[in-house]
């Protein structure tokens, strides 16, 4: 009986081993593994969906910012031109009064010198509409270059302030207080606006309206995305500062490479007026026909038009976008 009982136990042991190695109970094993792995898979899927959603939101936000910037460029009024040039205290009516007075003064001088009516009209038009706008554009361009030169340093101040534990608003106040104009004045407007309830996104938008440069647009995009989507602000602004310095370095390299072409264009463009001035000083009777006769007036107007076209073409050929 003992041998029979031992034999039955051996048979049962071998049968159990064969049952396990043959794959029986594989369904239960699969169910248990699926139950254990399901939460991890769900978390991974949720993380992937969250990343895709965040990327989609960022893309939509970038598209909205680009469309708003395009609309702002199209709707450029005289009031905004004055603000961009730094003349926020000058009203539009005062600007037009100055332009009209300048045009009238130039027309009066031409009339006293007994010039033709066409010359009087062209001189008044150029002095009343062309010259003030050109001066305004020149001041605006110089102000933007000065702002761009100091903007990367201002961003570095914000990065160091944020890394040291200061809030973003306090970092902006430090930049507004310590940075030279026009960087300090623009950040002062941003800080003052935030004090009265203006959001950071709206403040960056107003800064871009006052200083329409790609650098300010980049800054507004970074701040808006960080505010809405979160992330490491100091790292994002540090990368932005590096990009701005690379752009500045590229601009300097382009300027050095195109300096010869710009010098040639300046010499070629200045030769006709210089020769006309020399002839006017040496033999005024010889060149006065261009101003006293109608045919001379037409020839002079044609020369001005064609010289302007040539200068414009040369400027386009040596003006590189970066």
Kindly give, in sequence order, each residue whose CB lies less than 8 Å from that of residue 266, ignoring residues fewer than 6 positions away. Answer: none
Task: Return the pLDDT at 37.
Answer: 47
CA distance 146 to 140: 10
Report, as an integer, the average pLDDT of 187-216. 88
CA distance 148 to 152: 7
Report, as an integer, the average pLDDT of 39-53. 52
pLDDT category, 320, cuts 50, 70, 90?
low
Report, as an integer, the average pLDDT of 290-294. 83
Q: Where are the domains of the chain?
A: 31-75, 77-257, 258-322
pLDDT category, 306, cuts 50, 70, 90?
confident
How confident is the model over 54-69, as pLDDT tens digits? 566 555 655 655 565 5
Report, as an integer, the average pLDDT of 132-148. 90
> Over the chain, what is the mean pLDDT?
78
- pTM attached to this predicted model: 0.63
Structural tokens at position 169: 């608003």
Structural tokens at position 91: 């009203």
CA distance 132 to 42: 66
Task: Return the pLDDT at 36.
Answer: 46
Higher pLDDT, 16 or 100: 100
Report, as an integer, the average pLDDT of 177-206. 88
Task: Return the pLDDT at 41.
Answer: 44
* Residue 270 pLDDT greater than 70, yes or no: yes
* Residue 48 pLDDT greater than 80, yes or no: no
Query: Which of 193, 144, 143 minimizes the C-alpha distance to 169?
Result: 193
Kindly give, in sequence order, each residue whose CB lies less than 8 Å from that of residue 94, ignoring residues fewer than 6 positions away. Answer: none
Cis peptide before 182 (omega within 30 of 0): yes
Structural tokens at position 314: 């040369």
CA distance 173 to 158: 9
How confident is the model over 203-252, as pLDDT tens digits? 888 888 888 888 888 888 888 888 777 778 888 888 888 888 888 888 88
Of the listed ranges 8-17, 21-30, 49-58, 85-94, the least confidently predicted one is 21-30
Helix (H, G, I), strand (E, B) or coil at 34: helix
What share of residues in the chain are helix, strand, coil (percent, to 5)? 85, 0, 15
Kindly give, in sequence order, each residue whose CB lies less than 8 Å from that of residue 322, ignoring residues fewer than 6 positions away. Answer: 247, 250, 251, 254
Kindly give, in sequence order, each residue whose CB lies less than 8 Å from that of residue 243, ignoring residues fewer than 6 positions away. Answer: 218
């Amino acid at each position: 009986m003992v041998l029979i009982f031992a034999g039955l136990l051996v048979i049962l042991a071998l049968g159990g081993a064969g049952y396990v190695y043959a794959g029986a109970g594989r369904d239960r094993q699969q169910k248990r593994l699926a139950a254990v792995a399901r939460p991890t898979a769900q978390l991974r899927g949720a993380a992937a969906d969250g990343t895709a959603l965040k990327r989609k939101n960022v893309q939509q936000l970038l598209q909205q910012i680009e469309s708003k910037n395009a609309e702002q460029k199209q709707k450029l009024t005289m009031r905004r031109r004055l603000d961009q040039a730094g003349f926020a205290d000058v009203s539009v009516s005062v600007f037009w009064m100055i332009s009209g007075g300048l045009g009238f003064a130039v027309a009066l001088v031409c009339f006293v010198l007994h010039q033709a009516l066409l010359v009087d009209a062209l001189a008044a038009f150029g002095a009343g509409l062309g010259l003030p706008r050109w001066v305004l554009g020149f001041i605006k361009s110089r102000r933007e270059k000065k702002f761009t030169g100091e903007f990367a340093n201002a961003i570095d101040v914000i990065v160091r302030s944020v890394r040291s534990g200061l809030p973003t608003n306090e970092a902006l106040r430090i930049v507004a207080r310590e940075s030279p104009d026009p960087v300090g004045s623009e950040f002062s407007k941003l800080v003052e606006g935030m004090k009265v309830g203006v959001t950071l996104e709206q403040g960056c938008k107003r800064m871009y309206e006052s200083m329409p440069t790609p650098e300010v647009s980049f800054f507004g995009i970074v701040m808006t995305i960080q505010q809405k989507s979160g992330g490491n602000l100091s790292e994002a602004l540090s990368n932005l500062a590096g990009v701005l310095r690379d752009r500045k370095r590229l601009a300097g390299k382009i300027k050095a490479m195109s300096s010869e072409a710009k010098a040639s264009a300046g010499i070629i463009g200045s030769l006709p007026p210089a020769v006309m001035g020399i002839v006017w000083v040496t033999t005024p009777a010889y060149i006065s026909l261009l101003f006293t006769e109608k045919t001379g007036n037409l020839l002079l107007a044609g020369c001005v038009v064609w010289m302007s076209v040539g200068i414009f073409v040369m400027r386009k050929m040596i003006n590189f976008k970066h």
